[in-house]
């Protein structure tokens, strides 16, 4: 158990949780009850619900030392597909909504699988593949709609967001919480998660022990796509409309949260818990600034600074832990072999 | 005694380069055979060809006296052969237990196992037993491998290989990056592996190490085997002579 505590103590997600608690404490002192109210935290949790779902997939991708810039556009495309389907079927009930949800998930998984295939099989760098998908998915969504948002979302979905509470938690954050918990279990407790770390830590090594790295990468990107599809459903429920022009920074916000939460951009290391903490920091800052009357524009300044500081501290900590430089030596050995 | 693994007349060209030119190799059960040669002599290529990592243009491989085709590393593993690569192929962020069972995780029983959950306790116990058997210096089973010394990492890779290999372990330059004490540990490990009845193929540049642990030494030059000598009674000068071609024994 002490080993467990030491391991936890060494994780960035734990001390970044400390940073979050300091921020919460500071706002509590400055704004008191207004900040600490249930309604405030309910609002914060609703604001991060969609990003939390996207963050689960993004954490997996970044641990494989990949990146997915396309999630925002895939979310838009999937929400357009869902809205079109629900519009065509008509009606305001759950059966209509169900078909829409199915459409959004299929669309998300299809985009993710395409990304994964191009990355794993065609060996195009993830940055380029998903940058392309970002552009194509958004472009196609605009083609499908003529650039005008579709507002015909069944009441079943919007009511789900507005009225339903499960165990005292509003519906959207509750769905996000379930996704986060399942994501955490899969990442940290199953073979799928273990392979995700292994691929990011040493791809060649993973291949040599017989892991089907290509197939695993395709699964991971498909998972991220599925998360974007589910995110599309939640966004439709939240706003009652597609958000064609509203997701241009979603990818970067989610990536920032994942990285603030201690997932290494170089792969091999990370946690879903850290991502959730990393999502709360900007959301809490935003809510806090509004309450204490600071212009909300300062949120961007604060989050950007936290991001850079978090990665700097994390890297120095790792460099200290790895004195003697294991990673460079392994890398150089791989290079000398393949030369 | 019959050979456990025998390669006869392997040839393989890359463009104009004949990496293997009618090369042969043989090893008996439980024997330590050193494979030496200058850079580019074809040692690593030979190991790749015998472990399913490289297809040959011609030649045959016999395993236990029967002709076999080893097309994939998987197949070599299934036959009881494992390779410890020069770069070790460990995942630096995972701990020794996770590395040891990477790709071979023990699933939990029942539905949980079906869902991909792993039996961490059994894997850990079995890994600890494996390290204890080799008198390992690895004690931090929960720490990432990347934070460990070169000698410890080497040992993890060797323990992983012998856990899964019951016939032959190939070691590619296992002491190249190690200090004096760590080198001695690796050489002791090789002897213990041999004492378990597992054959060891040792690729090395270090003549004294080769003479210390090997039973036989096979020398390669320009893609072919030019000499086979018993370690006993052979001198470093003779080995170097065979490697460089100054002494023509073929």
pLDDT tens for B93-150 read: 999 999 999 988 999 988 888 888 999 999 999 888 888 877 667 778 888 998 888 8
B195 versus A336: which is more confidently predicted? Answer: B195
What is the predicted pLDDT for the residue at A326?
41
Claim to verify: residue B14 and residue B64 sit in the same structural domain? yes
Average pLDDT over residues A303-321: 80
Would B85 be classed as within a structural domain?
A: no
Would A165 be classed as within a structural domain?
A: yes
Cα–Cα distance, B227 to B245 (Å, whole number): 10
Claim to verify: residue B144 and residue B225 sit in the same structural domain? no
Claim to verify: residue B186 and residue B76 sit in the same structural domain? yes
- Note whether B73 contacts A329, CB cutoff 8 Å: no
What is the predicted pLDDT for the residue at A228?
97
Residues in a beta bridge with B63 = B5, B66
Average pLDDT over residues A173-190: 95
**Domain span holding position B110:** 91-162
Residues in a beta bridge with A139 = none
The helix/strand count (H/E) of chain B reads as: 9, 10
Q: Could you give the number of structural domains in chain A?
A: 1
pLDDT at A66 over 60: yes
pLDDT at A270 over 60: yes
Q: Could you give the number of structural domains in chain B?
A: 2
pLDDT at A106 over 80: yes
- Which residues in chain B show pLDDT less than 50? 250
Cα–Cα distance, B65 to B77 (Å, whole number): 18
Claim to verify: residue B129 and residue B236 sit in the same structural domain? no
What three-state secondary structure class fits B58?
A: strand
Q: Give the up-direction half-sphere exposure of residue A250: CA atoms within 13 A in the CB hemisphere.
A: 30
What is the predicted pLDDT for the residue at A170?
86
Claim to verify: residue B225 and residue B153 sit in the same structural domain? no
What is the predicted pLDDT for the residue at A165?
81
- Distance from the Cα of A119 to chain B's closest Cα (Å) equals 21
| Cα torsion A41, A47, A50, A51: sign | negative
A209 reaches B (C-beta below 8 A): yes
- Contact list in A for residue B89 (CB cut-off 8 A) is 202, 204-205, 208-209
- Of the pLDDT bands very low, low, confident and very high (cuts 50, 70, 90), residue A15 is confident
Average pLDDT over residues A267-280: 93
Would A96 be classed as within a structural domain?
A: yes
Would A327 be classed as within a structural domain?
A: no
A168 reaches B (C-beta below 8 A): no
Pair A74, A137: CB distance under 8 Å:
yes
Strands B224-230 and B216-221: antiparallel
Claim to verify: residue B137 and residue B238 sit in the same structural domain? no
Would A333 be classed as within a structural domain?
A: no
- Of the pLDDT bands very low, low, confident and very high (cuts 50, 70, 90), residue A8 is low
Where residue A277 sits, what CATH number does that domain have?
1.10.3470
Where residue B234 sits, what CATH number does that domain have?
3.40.50.300
Q: Which residues contact A178 (CB under 8 A, 6 or more apart)?
A: none
Would B86 be classed as within a structural domain?
A: no
Which of B142, B162, B182 is a domain's end point?
A: B162
Which of B132, B162, B192 is a domain's end point?
A: B162
Would A2 be classed as within a structural domain?
A: no
A9 reaches B (C-beta below 8 A): no
The percent of residues in chain A predicted with pLDDT above 90, rounded, is 56
Which of B162, B185, B220 is a domain's end point?
A: B162
What is the predicted pLDDT for the residue at A329?
36
**Domain span holding position A125:** 13-316
Claim to verify: residue B72 and residue B177 sit in the same structural domain? yes
The interface pTM score, or ipTM, of the predicted complex is 0.84
A207 exposure class (CB count in 10 Å sphere: 0-12, 13-18, 19+): middle
Cα–Cα distance, A237 to B60 (Å, whole number): 66
What is the predicted pLDDT for the residue at B250?
46
Would B150 be classed as within a structural domain?
A: yes
What is the predicted pLDDT for the residue at B249?
53
Would A32 be classed as within a structural domain?
A: yes
Would A331 be classed as within a structural domain?
A: no
- Of the pLDDT bands very low, low, confident and very high (cuts 50, 70, 90), residue A322 is low
Q: Which of B32, B115, B234 is nearest to A185 (CA)?
A: B115
- Note whether B86 contacts A322, CB cutoff 8 Å: no
Would A36 be classed as within a structural domain?
A: yes
Claim to verify: residue B146 and residue B170 sit in the same structural domain? no
- Note whether B117 contacts A189, CB cutoff 8 Å: yes
Beta strand ranges found along chain A (DSSP E): 165-166, 169-170
Claim to verify: residue B249 and residue B174 sit in the same structural domain? yes
pLDDT at A229 over 90: yes
Residues in a beta bridge with B68 = B61
- Note whether A202 contacts B91, CB cutoff 8 Å: yes
Query: Mean pLDDT over all residues of chain A?
Result: 87
Claim to verify: residue B117 and residue B214 sit in the same structural domain? no
């Amino acid at each position: 158990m002490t080993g467990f505590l030491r391991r936890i103590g060494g994780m960035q997600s734990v001390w970044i949780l400390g940073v979050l608690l300091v921020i919460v404490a500071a706002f509590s002192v400055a704004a008191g009850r207004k900040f600490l109210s249930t309604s405030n935290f309910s609002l914060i949790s609703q604001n991060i619900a969609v990003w939390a779902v996207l963050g689960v997939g993004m954490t997996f991708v970044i641990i494989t030392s990949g990146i997915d810039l396309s999630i925002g556009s895939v979310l838009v495309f999937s929400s357009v597909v869902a809205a079109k389907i629900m519009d065509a079927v008509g009606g305001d009930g759950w059966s209509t909504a169900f078909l829409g949800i199915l459409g959004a998930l299929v669309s998300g998984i299809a985009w993710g699988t395409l990304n994964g295939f191009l990355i794993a099989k065609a060996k195009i760098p993830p940055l380029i593949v998903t940058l392309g998908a970002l552009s194509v998915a958004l472009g196609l969504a605009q083609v499908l709609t003529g650039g005008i948002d579709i507002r015909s979302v069944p009441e079943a979905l919007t009511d789900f967001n507005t009225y339903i509470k499960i165990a005292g938690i509003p519906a959207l954050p509750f769905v996000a919480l379930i996704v986060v918990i399942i994501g955490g279990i899969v990442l940290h407790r199953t073979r799928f998660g273990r392979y995700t770390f292994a691929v990011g830590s040493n791809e060649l090594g993973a291949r040599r022990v017989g892991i089907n790295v290509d197939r695993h990468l395709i699964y991971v990107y498909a998972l991220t796509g599925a998360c974007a599809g589910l995110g599309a459903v939640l966004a439709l429920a939240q706003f009652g409309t597609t958000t064609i022009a509203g997701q241009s920074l979603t990818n970067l916000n989610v990536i920032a949260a994942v990285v603030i939460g201690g997932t290494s951009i170089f792969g091999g290391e990370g946690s879903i818990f850290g991502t959730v903490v990393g999502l709360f920091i900007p959301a809490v800052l935003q809510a806090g600034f509004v309450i204490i009357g600071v212009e909300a524009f300062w949120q961007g300044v604060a989050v950007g600074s936290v991001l850079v500081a978090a990665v700097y501290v994390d890297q120095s900590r790792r460099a200290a832990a790895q004195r003697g430089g294991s990673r460079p030596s392994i890398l150089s050995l791989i290079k000398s072999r393949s030369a | 005694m019959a050979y456990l693994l025998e390669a006869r007349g392997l040839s393989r060209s890359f463009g104009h380069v004949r990496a293997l030119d009618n090369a042969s190799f043989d090893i008996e059960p439980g024997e330590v055979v050193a494979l030496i040669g200058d850079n580019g002599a074809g040692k690593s290529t030979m190991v790749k060809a015998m472990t399913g990592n490289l297809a040959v243009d011609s030649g045959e491989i016999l395993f236990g006296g029967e002709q076999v085709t080893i097309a994939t590393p998987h197949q070599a593993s299934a036959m009881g052969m494992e390779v410890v690569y020069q770069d070790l192929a460990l995942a630096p962020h995972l701990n020794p237990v996770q590395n040891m069972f990477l790709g071979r995780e023990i699933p939990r029983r029942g539905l949980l196992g079906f869902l991909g959950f792993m039996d961490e306790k059994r894997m850990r116990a079995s890994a600890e037993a494996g390290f204890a058997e080799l008198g390992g210096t690895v004690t931090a089973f929960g720490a990432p491998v990347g934070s460990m010394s070169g000698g410890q990492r080497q040992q993890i890779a060797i323990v992983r290989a012998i856990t899964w290999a019951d016939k032959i372990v190939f070691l590619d330059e296992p002491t190249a990056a190690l200090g004096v004490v760590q080198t001695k540990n690796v050489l002791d490990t090789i002897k213990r592996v041999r004492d378990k009845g597992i054959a060891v193929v040792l690729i090395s540049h270090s003549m004294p190490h080769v003479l210390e642990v090997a039973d036989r030494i096979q020398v390669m030059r320009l893609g072919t085997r030019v000499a086979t000598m018993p370690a006993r009674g052979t001198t470093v000068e003779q080995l170097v002579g065979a490697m460089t071609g100054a002494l023509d024994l073929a």
